[in-house]
Amino acid sequence: MSQAVAPVRHVLIEGNKSYHNITEDLCSPTEKAPTREWIIAFSLSAAFLALYVFAIVWTVWKGIGEWGSNRTINWAWDITNFVWWIGIGHAGTLISAILLLFRQRWRTGVNRAAEAMTIFAVICAGQFPIFHMGRVWLAFFIFPFPNTRGPLWTNFNSPLLWDVFAISTYFSVSLLFWYTGLVPDLATVRDRATGFRRKMYELFSFGWTGSAKHWQRWEALSLVLAGISTPLVLSVHTIVSFDFATSVIPGWHTTIFPPYFVAGAIFSGFAMVQTLMVLTRKVLKLEEYITINHIESMNKVIVLTGTIVGVAYLTELFIAWYSGYVYEQFAFYNRVFGVYWWAYFGMMFCNVVSPQLFWSRKIRRSIWWTFFLSIVVNIGMWFERFVIIATTLARDYLPSSWSYYSPTWVEISIFTGTMGLFFTLYLIFTRVAPVVAVAEIKSILKVAGDQYVGPKAQKQHDHGHSAAPVRNEDQNAG
Amino acid sequence: MAAHQSTKVLYGLYNDEEDLKQAVKVANAGHLDIMDVFTPFPVHGLDPILGLKESRLHYLGFIYGAIGALFGFGIMSWVFTMDWPLMIGGKPYWAVPAFIPITFELTVLFSAWGMTLTFYTICGLWPGVKAQTLDNRITDDKFCIAFDVTDGADDTALKNFFSRTGAAEVNIKTL
């Protein structure tokens, strides 16, 4: 093979695919009958979803007194879980927007699934504040609209209202971004389908033809959406952190919260992407699209953000001591050595210590380690939110109202139930749409111009790539 | 774009985007009037040789965003200074810094929705629109150049063009 190959570029997709191979590999999971693994996973998820519905009906029927939250610890599992899910929902937009702007072309293998994950995670997150309102049938009061009560408006100075705007904007913009990216791929599935399936995909692909002008506008739209999603994704968790930071509770009232929450969100989001990708690539046989290189790149992001989070934890402790302010010092002493000391040490171990293993290239490139550590990180990030919320509230200004919180079966069911909701949605998604962006993968297939398949090709596409100096092992892992 | 009277289309399919780009250059040199080009993915470098001007969608994105910002900031200012001034913690009625987060979110919201809806509208893409598909493989691995031959003029020049530029298939379809 001629040496028109740039040695620094390594292949992003393995297995010397042709365009048709890509279509075949990525669309076929939506066309075949579900596998046994899928059916088992779906049944399990649906069972948890049913548990969720039951626990929610119970909550709405009996009231949120059924939860373990009390007058002192009035935010507990609900807000912990809300922040946890919102954090997970950050990786998708980060991968699709920020990595697009940084021209990280490997993102193409994972962006579609990560964006879907974002949307499903935000749906799960939204459940908690909505049902925490108690009288959920009045939930629409959170939106400012002309009404017969004055009109009585919402409080635009409240970070909780900012959150309403941030989360709903984030959800709808992510949905637009994801779906617009999906339209050409749904058209690909449509053009392979017949009968009723074809009719359905005709409806959902909006009449996409692949015209040059449409592609041009589609790319312009994607780029601008990426551009505005980047500050959006950073703003969302910043505003979530304002829920705490703008209060006057020692331990919450800190300016470090916005960057620390955003780093934590990226950290947990990537961990959840890893959990899902390791499973998805195996079950759907997408190892050539979501390669070890992808997993390694994401592990690098995890070790970076995990370390940022670790620095933030230590900074918080230092600033509390340095402030000389006794309530602040007590809040942090209590956080580390108080009644919930086990949550603090769990958080420290899972979020700060465990990701450091990813400095080892071997561990970073190991599927089993990645899967295991991604779960550990998600547990750690859950602890982080629990530590911030429950520990701080448990020991407030007035020792007579100090309290302890443990969840009831209703809260445990709602939390595990949202996982059922999440995985049910994700599993349905893997059945109805290509989990890897088909068109975008095709556009990054040729990294070296040696994969020309037209009539003037020296030889047909014979998978004879052996002479190419571009193998994974060769790449500089920097 | 989807005219209701039928359009007769002569189209050629290429196997590789490089062939497509070469063919478009040849068509330009021969003053052939390309109706449209269809590809399975965005082919970079195609727009300038097709003579497509840069999309102006991003200008609209800016305008929609500006409308969102003014709308959000304006409505909050009006509510808190004129419609129902509310004293919150002794802070000023017109609490500009506190309005920033919502103003920002509405900027993004309006910009994203405005641009996306504009995109679908100007492309004529909506649920229920039937795709004017020339060939099912265009969304898979074929690159298509289409000519409008409804007027029934002599199309030998076009067929010659396709065979000269290495089209894998040439077909006629009435849409």
User: 3-class DSSP state for residue A151?
Assistant: coil
- A257-293 in b/e form (b: 16+ CB < 10 A) is bbebbbbbbbbbbbbbbbbbbbebbeebebebbbbbb
CB of A201 within 8 Å of a chain B CB? The answer is no
Q: Are strands B143-148 and B8-14 parallel, antiparallel or unpaired?
A: antiparallel
Sequence-separated (6 or more) residues with CB below 8 Å from residue A78: A67, A69, A128, A129, A131, A132, A411, A414
Q: Which of A217, A224, A455 sits opposite B166 (nearest CB)?
A: A455
Sequence-separated (6 or more) residues with CB below 8 Å from residue B66: B107
Nearest CA among A88, A215, A131, A333 for reference residue B41: A215
Q: How distant is the Cα of A267 from the closest Cα of chain B, in angstroms?
A: 23
Sequence-separated (6 or more) residues with CB below 8 Å from residue A212: B36, B37, B38, B39, B43, B46, B47, B50, B52
End-to-end CA, chain A: 28
Rounded Cα distance between A364 and A139, Å, is 45
pLDDT given at position A368 = 93
Neighbours of A316 (CB within 10 A): 20
Task: Answer for the pair A226, A200: CB distance below 8 angstroms, yes or no.
Answer: no
pLDDT given at position A11 = 65
User: 3-class DSSP state for residue B37?
Assistant: strand
pLDDT given at position A176 = 92
CB of A248 within 8 Å of a chain B CB? The answer is no
Smallest CA–CA distance from B98 into chain A, residue: A157
Rounded Cα distance between B79 and A318, Å, is 42
Q: Which of B57, B128, B140 sits opposite A221 (nearest CB)?
A: B57
Rounded Cα distance between B16 and A175, Å, is 33
Is B127's CB within 8 Å of A440's CB?
no
pTM for the full predicted model: 0.89
What are the residue boundaries of the structural domains of chain A, listed by start? 19-141+154-454
Smallest CA–CA distance from B38 into chain A, residue: A211
Task: Answer for the pair B46, B20: CB distance below 8 angstroms, yes or no.
Answer: yes
Rounded Cα distance between A331 and A251, Å, is 6
Contacts of A232 in chain B (CB under 8 A): 105, 108
Digitized pLDDT (tens) for each residue of chain A, 478 residues in all: 444 544 445 667 776 778 888 888 888 888 888 888 899 999 999 999 999 999 999 999 999 899 988 888 888 899 999 999 999 988 888 877 878 778 777 788 888 888 899 999 999 999 999 999 889 999 888 888 888 887 888 889 899 999 999 999 999 999 999 999 999 999 999 988 888 888 889 899 898 988 888 999 999 998 899 889 889 999 999 999 999 999 888 889 888 999 989 999 989 999 999 999 898 888 888 888 888 888 898 899 999 999 999 999 999 999 999 989 898 899 999 999 989 999 999 999 999 999 999 999 999 999 999 999 999 999 999 999 999 999 888 988 888 989 899 899 999 999 999 999 999 999 999 999 998 888 888 887 776 455 555 555 544 444 444 444 444 443 443 3
Q: In what order do the strands lie in the sheet with B169-174?
A: B34-38, B143-148, B8-14, B169-174
Query: Predicted ipTM?
Result: 0.91
Task: Quote the Cα angle for A54-A56-A57, to 5°.
Answer: 65
- Residues of chain B where predicted confidence (pLDDT) is lower than 50: 1-3
Is A205's CB within 8 Å of B131's CB?
yes
Count Cα neighbours of A305 within 13 Å in the Cβ-side half-sphere: 25
Selected residue of A17, A165, A202, A208 to mutate for chain B interface (largest B Cβ count, 10 A): A165
Rounded Cα distance between A157 and B98, Å, is 5
Task: Answer for the pair A293, A472: CB distance below 8 angstroms, yes or no.
Answer: yes
Count Cα neighbours of A478 within 13 Å in the Cβ-side half-sphere: 2
Contacts of B166 in chain A (CB under 8 A): 454-456
User: 3-class DSSP state for residue A406?
Assistant: coil
Count Cα neighbours of A200 within 13 Å in the Cβ-side half-sphere: 10
pLDDT given at position A464 = 41
> CA distances (Å), A459 to each of A2, A429, A445, B8, in order?
12, 39, 18, 36
Is B52's CB within 8 Å of A212's CB?
yes
pLDDT given at position A16 = 73
Rounded Cα distance between B123 and A214, Å, is 6
Nearest CA among A264, A296, A272, A305 for reference residue A114: A272
> CA distances (Å), B96 to each of A374, B108, B158, in order?
42, 19, 64
Contacts of B47 in chain A (CB under 8 A): 212, 216
End-to-end CA, chain B: 12
Rounded Cα distance between A422 and A125, Å, is 10
CB of A166 within 8 Å of a chain B CB? The answer is yes
Rounded Cα distance between B132 and A138, Å, is 46
Count Cα neighbours of A436 within 13 Å in the Cβ-side half-sphere: 31
Exposed/middle/buried for A474, CB within 10 Å: 0-12, 13-18, 19+? exposed
Is B108's CB within 8 Å of A162's CB?
no
CATH-assigned architecture of domain A19-141+154-454: Up-down Bundle (1.20)
Rounded Cα distance between A282 and A436, Å, is 13
Tell me what percent of chain A is helix, strand and coil, each rounded to the nearest 5: 70, 0, 30
Rounded Cα distance between A105 and A440, Å, is 10
Residue at token pair 């020692």:
A250
Is B42's CB within 8 Å of A156's CB?
no
Count Cα neighbours of A198 within 13 Å in the Cβ-side half-sphere: 9
The backbone region for B152, taken as left when phi is positive above 0, alpha when psi lies in -120 to 50, beta otherwise, is: left
In this structure, what are the phi and psi dihedrals at residue A151, rounded to the nearest 5 degrees? -70, 135
pLDDT digits (tens, 9 = 90+) for B90-110: 888 998 999 999 999 999 999
Task: Answer for the pair A437, A108: CB distance below 8 angstroms, yes or no.
Answer: yes
Is B42's CB within 8 Å of A202's CB?
no
Is A209's CB within 8 Å of B111's CB?
no
Task: Answer for the pair A161, B72: CB distance below 8 angstroms, yes or no.
Answer: no
Tokens of A325: 């302010």
Q: Are strands B34-38 and B143-148 parallel, antiparallel or unpaired?
A: antiparallel
The backbone region for A99, taken as left when phi is positive above 0, alpha when psi lies in -120 to 50, beta otherwise, is: alpha
